[in-house]
Structure 1
Amino acid sequence: MEVIVDTNILVYETVEDSIYHKDVMEKLEKIDVPYLLITNILIEFILVMKKLGLEENFIVNKVLEILEDKRIRLFSIKSVDFKEALKIIGQEKMNTGKINDKIVLALARKNKLPIYTYDKQLKRQAKNLGIGTI
């Protein structure tokens, strides 16, 4: 089964001393490929790596590694996906600061795919929308 990968999975896979690194590595080995990576998640990953203080060279090389990984399929956001994400924000009476999560939810629902995340709030929202999580 394909799965949409959230930002925190990329972070935990990259940061080897993170508490979830081993678990993420084991689960990624068991998931059928490709892993779907939404473009905004890759951008968010870069911003998180910068915030963690990782060196520019490391970040660039890691992103190139991700882009060249045959198990990963980059997924572009379309206007309909943004509209659906904004609709979810309106239904949940959330602020637009959560747009990345809502785009993940919109694409997961549209494509009937589970989300691989450690974000408890995103998992709860996915469950409320009938979307599976790992």
Structure 2
Amino acid sequence: MTQDIKLLLVVAVALVDQDNRILLAQRPEGKQLAGLWEFPGGKLEPNERPEQALIRELKEELGIDVKEDCLAPLTFASFAYEEFHLLMPLYICRRWEGFVQSREGQALKWVKPLDLRQYPMPPADEPLIPPLIDLLNI
């Protein structure tokens, strides 16, 4: 007999700048997993596609505008937390309009792919690092 567990769909993006660095955001105090670093993104709203959610989240969290055709799917994470199972597609984005800024009080850091492991992340984010290193470590 299997236990019922909630499936949570969250979408994330690796924003990549001209120097091939990736943007990480630190989870603020008061949130679950506070202090850990993650890729920007968030939960999907009802009837929202992953790309739409990312466009919305990037505008809300970072003040940037992203066009859907600038989001390329790269990989995904599937991770069983105690309370839920997380499914998280990761997209790559190299083009956006506006200046990246913290709009929700989170710390931001541009990080070289090989340095990503130096930043403590939620367990679901860690498997996303090797495909990023493979793609960007030129």
TM range (shorter): 0.3 to 0.5
Given the two structures, how large is their TM-score scaled by the length of structure 1? 0.32
**Greater per-residue helix proportion:** 1
